[in-house]
A and B are shown apart, each in its own frame.
Chain A
Amino acid sequence: MTATESVSPDASAVPAATDWNGVDFHGARSRSRRWSRLLWSLVYPQRGQRILPTVPGTLLIAVSLGIGTAAYNTSSNILFITLSLLLACLVSSGVLSWFNLKEVTWRLRLTPPLRVGREHAVTLELRNAKRVLPTYGLWFDFTATGMAKPVRRALAGRLDPRGETRVEWTFCPQKRGAATVELVAVGSLFPFGFLRKIIGSELRREALVWPASVEYRRFPLVSWRHPGIGEQKATAGQGGDLLALRPYAQGDSQRAVHWKASARLRRLVVRQFATEMQAGFSLWVQTSAEVWMRPEQFELLCSFAATLAEDLFRAGRLTSVALNDEPTYLVRSVRDLELFLDRLALAAPVDQPYQPTTSAGAGRRFNVLTFAPDGARGVLAHVDGKPAATA
C-alpha cells in the first residue's frame, strides 16, 4: 500500500468517505488486471511488504530441508510424501493468508483537537468486503510524532464477512505543533503462524497539537476596569440579546440554528447572541526571542496563553487576540478561538523586540493581557502592565 492520506493542518483531520486503503486496493477493475497485479506482486512485492519466517516457520523450513535431504539420500517415498505435505502446507498457508487479507480495507480516523498531555483516541476502521470468509489475526503498528517505537494493536477475534469493526489506540501527545499519526504497518501471522507478513503502510493523518492546559494563579486584580465609552463592544457570547445572524460553522450548536432564516436563505444560519456586559480582555502574546530564551519557559508561555484564552472565552470575556505584530482580530466564536490556539501550537520565538505594556495600556487599549518571564521558569501575565496571573 502506497497511498498517503494527509491533510493540511488547517483542514479537518477526519477522512473523507472513500479513503479506504488495503492490500488489494489497486483500483484495478478487470479481473485479469487484478490477477496480473497479484502475480506480479509475488515476483516484486510492493514497497514495505515483507514476509519473515517465525520460529515455527523456521522450524518447518528446517524440518522440510532435513526430510528432503533424507528423502534424496534414501529414495524413501515415505519421506517424499512427508516433504510434499510440508510444502503443500506452506503453500496453503500463503493462500489462506492471501484470502485473509483479500478485500480487507482500513482507514484512519483522528479527531482533533489534540492537546499536549491529554489522551486522544486514534481509530482504525476496518472493513471486510468478502462475502463468505471472515478475517482473523491482524495487527496494526501505529506511531505518532515523538514516539520512539510503534505501538501494536491487534484485531482480537473475527471480522465477519461484510463486517466492519474498529481498532482503537489511545495516545498522548507530548509536544505542541504539527503532529503526525501514522499506521506504519499491518501484519498477520494467520493462519498457521509460519510466516510473519508485514504490509508497509504510509497511511497518516496530520493534526495540530495545542499547548497543554496549565495550572495558574490569579492575583486579585485591582486594575480590572470597565471599558470606557467607545471601548465597550458587544461581542458574541452567551447573553440573551441577539447580536446578529451568521452562517453556520462547524462546531456550532444545532440549538443556535435560526430555522426560519435558514429556510428563507436556503442555507444554515445561526443566531449570535451578545455577551453579558462585562469587561473584555485582549490577549497579546509576544514570542520575542530576546525575552523567551529558555525553551521550557517558552512552552509554558504558550500553554499559559492558551489556557487563559480558553478560560476567558468560556467566561465570555475574551474580546480579541494578537500574536506578535500580527493584526488583532476579534474572537466571536469557537472557531476564532481554535484558530488562535492553532497559531499558538505553531508559535516559535521570533526576532522581534519585546514591547512591555504599561498601565496606560500602551496608549492604545485597556485590559490588554500580556506575558513576560517570571524568573527563570515562570511566566507572568499582566493586565495593562500590572501582574494578573502567574504560571
Chain B
Amino acid sequence: MSMENRRPQLNLAELHQLKWLIGGLLALISAWTVVYMDVEAWLLLVLATVAIPVVTVRPGLTMRVPRLAHRLAFPILLSVFAIDMAGHWREPLPPVIRLALMLVLYRVITPRKRRDDLQIIVLGLFLVVVGGVVSVSIVFAAQIVVFTACALLFLLVITLVDGMESEPTLAGETGGWMQVEWRRLAQRLRECVDWRVAVLGGLLFAGVVGLSAVLFMAIPRFELGNSLFLDRLITSHAKTGFSENIQFGDVVDIQRDTSVALSVDVSDRSQMPAQLYWRMLVLDEYSKGSFRMSAAAKFSLDRVSAQNARVQGDAPLSARTPVWTFYVETGTSRFLPLLGAFNEIGFEGEKEVAFNRDTGLVMLRQTPSKMLAYRVEGMQSGPSLKLPEKGGEIRLNDKSELKLPSLTELVLHTDEKVKLAAWVAEIGAPPGSAPEFARSASRWLAKRHAYSLQSSIGSGPADSDPLVRWVDSAEPGHCELFAGAFTLLARTAGYPTRVALGFKGGSWNARSENITVRNSDAHAWCEVYDKAAGAWLRVDPTPGAAAVGDSANAPQGEAVLARIRDDSWAARFESLRVFWYRRIVNFDQQSQVRLVHNAKKLADERLREFKKTLREKLEALKAWIASPWDARRVAAWGLSAAAVVFGVVGWRLAGRGAWLRWRSGRMRGGPDPVRREAGRWLRKISDSGSVMADLDGVRAELENLRYGPSAKWPEPTGVFRRAKRTLARRRR
C-alpha cells in the first residue's frame, strides 16, 4: 500500500503508547471516584494513586511482574473479595467497590490486550456511576463528562490500533513500544494532529454532551417501582454529629466545619421569617452535666417508623404559606431540619421515616448516603411551636417500661439546687410567665458571660455539675453552655424546658436564589413550654440573639434576605451545586411537563413579539410610502438607490479585484488570496468532472492565476466570474 499523504501519521508503536497513556488516565479517574463514596478503601486508593501514574509513565515495569503473580492474581482477588464480603455481608456494596478498584489496579499494572482495555472501561464506568448514585454529588457531573471523553478517545485509539494490526504489513511494527519517550510522543502528536480536526472533535464532544442533556430532558419518566438499589447496599454515618447521641460540646465542633450542610428554596420570598432556626432534634434528658435525647424520646420516634413518600403533619395549610424545598447534603444528619410544625413533607420516592408529633421531630431510619431532597408545605416558622402534646409531655405507649424524664426536675446536689434557686430569684422574673422569665434569664446570663467559642468551665469538685460551675463563674461560653444554663434555670423556675439543636440563619445566594446553610451555622437553643399559649417558646439565650418577643417587630421577607445576602465567589460556585440539585437531581415528570409548558410559552411569546414587530414595521412602511413624494424626496431616495447600485456593481466589477490585488501585493509568506481563490475554483471544476470545451479556457486562466507569475495575471475577478457562470451553465 502506498500512501500519498502529506501530514505525518502516528505509527503502530506510538498508537500503542497513546492507548496505554489514556488507559492509565481512565483508570486513575475511575479510582478517584472512591473519594466521594463512604467506603473504606483508602489503602487501595493510595496504592492506585501511586501505582497507576508510575506504571503509566514506565510501561516496561509491567514486564517485571512474574508470571506466577498473574496466575495467582485471580484466586487472590477472589479470596480477598470473599473474605471482605463475609465481613460486610450486610453492606455488600463496599466489598464490590473494593473488588472493582483492585481489578482496575491489576489491569493497569499488567500488559493489556483489547479485552483488558474494555474491562478497564466497564469497571471505570461502574465505579463512576456507583459513586454518582451513592453521593449525588455535583462532582459526578464533571467526572462522568471527563470519563466519557477519555473513554471515547480510548476506544478510538483501540479501533485505530486494531485496524493497523489487522494489516499484515504493519503488524510487525508493534515491537518495542514500551520504550516510551513521552516528550517525543508529544511532539509527534503535535505534528500529526490537524488542529481543525481537533477542534471539530471538541465540538463533536460538546455535541455529545448537549445531545445527552436533551435526551436527559426528553426521556419519558415513569417509575416502575422502588426496589433494592445501590444506596441501600451501603450504610452511611452522620458526619456532622447531629445524632440522638450528641454530646455537649459537639455543636461547637460542628461549627468549625464551613462546608454546606443544606440548601433551601422558598417559593415565596416575602414570607421569609425574621429568624431562621432550622430545628433538627431536642435533648430532653439532663444527667452528669450533659443533655441528651432520652431513651423514651428515641423510642417514641422508632415506634412510628414507616415506609412512606409523604409525612402528614398537624399544621394547617394556608394559601399564604410558602413551599420550602430542602436539599440536605450527604451525611448531615438523619434528623430533618425544619423551621417548625408543618402540614406535609414530601420525599422523592418512599423513605423509611419516623415522625413524632409530640416533639415535631422527623427522622429517617438511616443517615442518607446521598443528597436528600424533600418539600415541606404549610411549615410554620414563628418563634413558638404548637404541638399536640399535653403540658409539654411526650406521650408514650402505656405498656412501655420506659419513662420520660421530667422536663422540670433536675438531678443535682442540694447545694447546686440552692445556687440555682438563688440565681432564679436574682433574675427576678414574675412567676407564671414563661416569656418574661425567658427574657430576664437571657439578659441575666448575657450580663454574667460573654460569648466565645473558646470557653472553659470554672474549676470545682469532680462530682459537681459543670453547667452550674460555669454559671457560677464569669467565663465566656458558647451557645451550648448558654442553652444548657438557661434550661437549668428555667427548670428550677418550674418551666418545662429542653435544649433544641440545629442550624441558625444561613446566607442568601442571590445568584441561585436559595438559602445556603453551612455547618458553621450549627446552633443550640432552648424551648420553654408556655402554658398560657399552650406552645413551646423558642428561647435563644446566646448573646446577640433576638430576645423573646423581639421577632414580632423584626423585619421579614426581602429585608431578611438582603441582610444575609452573600455575593462571594464561594456563593457563585455554590449556585452551581444548587442548579445541579434543582434542575438535574430533582428533575422528574413534573419538571418535564413544566419544561414543555415553558418552552411552548416562550415560543408563543416570541412568535407574538415577532408578529407584532412585523406588523409595526409594515405599518411604518405603509405610512412611509403613503407620505407625499415631492421632488426633493424622490431625488434624495433616487440618488441613494443609485449610489447603492453603483457601489455594488463597482465593487463586483473592479473593487473586489483591486482589493484582491492589493491584498496579494501585501502578502509576505502567507497564502496569496488570489492564488487561493483560483485554487478553490480549480477544485470546483475538478470536482464537477466536467470535460466541456468552454471550461478549458477558464481553467487555463485559473491555472495562470494559481501558478503563474502575478505580472502576467488576467483580471482575477473577471476570471472568477467566468468560472462561476460556466459552472452554473453546466449544472443547468
- A interacts with B: yes
Interface contact A84-B212, CB-CB below 8 Å: yes
Contact present for B132 and A156 (CB under 8 Å): no
- B162 lies within 8 A of A89 (CB): no
Residues on the B chain within 8 Å of A134, using CB: 194, 197
B residues 268-286 near A (Cβ < 8 Å) are none
Q: Is B660 an interface residue (CB 8 A)?
A: no
Interface assignment of B474: CB less than 8 Å from any CB of chain A: no
Complex CA gap A81/B46 in Å reads: 29
User: In residues 151-178 of chain B, which contact A (Cβ within 8 Å)?
Assistant: 152, 155-156, 158-160, 162-164, 166-167, 169-170
Contact B585 A78 (CB under 8 A): yes
Q: Which of A55, A75, A81 sits near B118, CB closer than 8 Å?
A: A55
Task: Chain A residues near B133: list those with CB within 8 A.
Answer: 76, 78-79
Contacts of B731 in A (CB 8 A): 29
When distances are taken between beta carbons in the complex, the residues of chain B under 8 Å from A88 are 208-209, 211-212, 215
- Contact A75 to B155, CB < 8 A, known contacts A81-B212, A85-B212, A158-B5: no
Q: Does A361 contact B (CB under 8 A)?
A: no
- Which chain B residues border A77 with CB–CB below 8 Å? 216, 584-587
Interface presence of B570 (CB below 8 A): no
Please tell me if A314 contacts chain B, counting CB pairs below 8 Å. Answer: no
B628 at interface (Cβ–Cβ under 8 A)?
A: no
Instruction: Report Cα–Cα, A389/B221, bound state, in Å.
Output: 88
A72 and B152 within 8 A (CB): no
Within 8 Å CB of A69, what residues of B? 224
Contacts of B170 in A (CB 8 A): 156
Cross-chain contact B155 with A81 (CB below 8 angstroms): no
Contact A85 B5 (CB under 8 A): no
Across the interface, A92 reaches (CB within 8 A) one of B7, B118, B169, B208, namely: B208
A349 at interface, CB cutoff 8 A: no
**B226:A73 contact, CB within 8 angstroms:** yes
- Tell whether A74 is near chain B: CB-to-CB under 8 Å: yes
Q: Give complex CA distance A152, B166 in Å.
A: 9
Binary per-residue interface labels of chain B (197-234) against chain A in the complex, 1 for a CB within 8 Å, 0 otherwise: 10010001101110111011001011111110100000
Contacts of A168 in B (CB 8 A): 1
Interface locus among A159-167, A261-269, A323-331, A362-370: A159-167
Does B141 belong to the interface (CB within 8 Å)? yes
Question: Is A153 part of the binding interface, using a Cβ–Cβ cutoff of 8 Å?
Answer: yes
Interface residues of A in 52-105 (CB under 8 A from B): 55-56, 59, 63, 67, 69-70, 72-85, 87-89, 91-92, 95-96
Cβ–Cβ < 8 Å partners of B140 in chain A: 78
Report B598 CB to chain A, min CB distance, Å.
Answer: 19
The answer to whether A63 and B122 touch across the interface, beta carbons within 8 angstroms, is yes
Is B6 positioned at the interface, with any CB of A under 8 Å from its CB?
yes
In whole angstroms, what is the CA distance A44 to B126 when docked? 36
Q: Does B348 contact A (CB under 8 A)?
A: yes
B38 to nearest A CB, angstroms?
16
Interfacial chain B residues near A189, Cβ < 8 Å: 159, 162-163
Q: How far is the CA of A168 from the CA of B219 in the complex (A)?
A: 48
Give Cα distance in the complex from A88 to B204, angstroms: 11
Q: Do the beta carbons of B204 and A157 come within 8 Å of each other?
A: no
Name A123-168 residues within 8 Å CB distance of B. 129, 132-134, 136-137, 139, 152-160, 163-168
A73 in contact with B229 given A79-B133, A192-B155, A193-B159 (CB within 8 Å)? yes
Contacts of A139 in B (CB 8 A): 163, 166
Contacts of A29 in B (CB 8 A): 731
CB of A63 within 8 A of CB of B125, answer yes
Within 8 A of A (CB), among B133-153: 133, 136, 140-141, 144, 148, 152
CA distance A250 to B132 in the complex (A): 73
**Bound-complex Cα distance A87 to B208 (A):** 9
Across the interface, do B208 and A193 meet the contact criterion of CB distance under 8 Å? no
Minimum distance in angstroms from A104 CB to a CB of chain B: 14
Q: Are A157 and B155 in contact (CB under 8 A)?
A: no
**B415: CB under 8 A from chain A?**
no
Are A87 and B215 in contact (CB-based, < 8 A)?
Answer: yes
Q: A73-B226, A73-B229, A165-B1 are in contact. Are A82 and B129 (CB under 8 A)?
A: yes
Interface residue? B349 (CB, 8 A): yes
CB distance from A97 to the nearest CB of B (A): 11
Report chain B residues within 8 Å CB of A153.
Answer: 167
Closest CB-CB distance, A267 to chain B, in whole Å? 22
Question: Considering only CB atoms, which chain A residue lies closest to B591 in the complex?
Answer: A77
Binary contact readout A98-115 vs B (1 if CB under 8 angstroms, 0 otherwise): 000000000000000000
A190 at the interface (CB under 8 A from B): yes
Q: B residues within 8 A CB of A154?
A: 163-164, 166-167
A133 touches B197 (CB 8 A): yes
A85 to B167, CA, bound (A): 33
Residues of A within 8 A of B162 (CB): 189, 193
In this assembly, does A254 line the interface, its C-beta being within 8 Å of a C-beta of chain B?
no
Residues of A within 8 A of B398 (CB): none
**Which among B118, B212, B585 has the greatest number of chain A C-beta atoms within 10 A?**
B212
Q: Which residues of B contact A81 (CB under 8 A)?
A: 132, 141, 144, 212, 216, 584
A15 CB within 8 Å of chain B:
no
The answer to whether A192 and B152 touch across the interface, beta carbons within 8 angstroms, is yes
Cβ of B207 and Cβ of A165 under 8 Å apart? no
What 1/0 flags go to A18-45 for Cβ under 8 Å of B?
1000000000010000000000000000
Q: Which of A75, A92, A167, A192 has the most CB of B within 10 A?
A: A75
| B630 beta carbon closer than 8 Å to chain A | no
**Interface check B689, CB cutoff 8 A:** yes
Residues of chain B within 8 A of A190, CB atoms compared? 159, 163
Q: Give the residues in chain A near B7, CB-CB below 8 Å.
A: 158, 160
A227 CB–B CB distance under 8 Å: no
Closest chain-B Cβ to A330's Cβ sits at a distance in Å of: 39
Cα–Cα, bound, A41→B211 (Å): 22
- With a cutoff of 8 Å between Cβ atoms, the chain B residues found around residue A67 in the complex are 129
- In the assembled complex, the Cα of A63 lies from the Cα of B226 at a distance in Å of 20
When distances are taken between beta carbons in the complex, the residues of chain B under 8 Å from A166 are 1-2
Contacts of B129 in A (CB 8 A): 67, 78-79, 82
Q: Is there contact, CB below 8 Å, between A73 and B167?
A: no
CB within 8 Å of A: which B329-362 residues: 348-349
B215 touches A84 (CB 8 A): yes
Interface mask (B291-320 → A, CB under 8 Å = 1, otherwise 0): 000000000000000000000000000000
8 Å CB contact of A74 from B2, B132, B155, B349:
B349
Q: Interface readout for B391-406 with A: 1 if CB under 8 Å, 0 if not?
A: 0000000000000000
Q: Does A378 contact B (CB under 8 A)?
A: no
**Does B693 sit at the interface, judged by CB under 8 A?**
no
Q: Is A191 an interface residue (CB 8 A)?
A: yes
A165 and chain B: residue at smallest CB distance: B3
Cβ < 8 Å to A, chain B residues 683-705:
687, 689
> Do the beta carbons of B122 and A136 come within 8 Å of each other?
no
User: Cα distance A156–B687 when bound, in Å?
Assistant: 26
Is residue B196 contacting chain A, with contact meaning CB distance below 8 A? yes
Q: Does B574 contact A (CB under 8 A)?
A: no
Subset of 30 A-B contacts with CB under 8 Å: A70-B229, A72-B224, A73-B223, A73-B224, A73-B226, A74-B226, A74-B349, A75-B221, A76-B133, A77-B216, A81-B212, A83-B215, A84-B211, A84-B215, A84-B216, A92-B208, A92-B211, A129-B687, A132-B200, A133-B200, A156-B164, A157-B3, A158-B7, A160-B7, A163-B5, A165-B3, A166-B2, A190-B163, A193-B155, A193-B162
Rank and list the top 9 A-B pairs by shortest CB-CB distance, nearest first: A88-B212, A84-B215, A192-B155, A84-B212, A156-B167, A137-B163, A84-B216, A78-B132, A88-B211
Told that A84-B216, A92-B152, A189-B162 touch, could you supply 4 new A-B pairs with CB distance under 8 A? Answer: A78-B129, A78-B136, A80-B219, A137-B163
Chain A residues with a Cβ under 8 A of chain B: 18, 29, 55-56, 59, 63, 67, 69-70, 72-85, 87-89, 91-92, 95-96, 129, 132-134, 136-137, 139, 152-160, 163-168, 189-194
Q: Which residues of B are at the interface with A, using a C-beta cutoff of 8 A? A: 1-7, 9, 118, 122, 125, 129, 132-133, 136, 140-141, 144, 148, 152, 155-156, 158-160, 162-164, 166-167, 169-170, 194, 196-197, 200, 204-205, 207-209, 211-213, 215-216, 219, 221-227, 229, 348-349, 584-588, 687, 689, 731
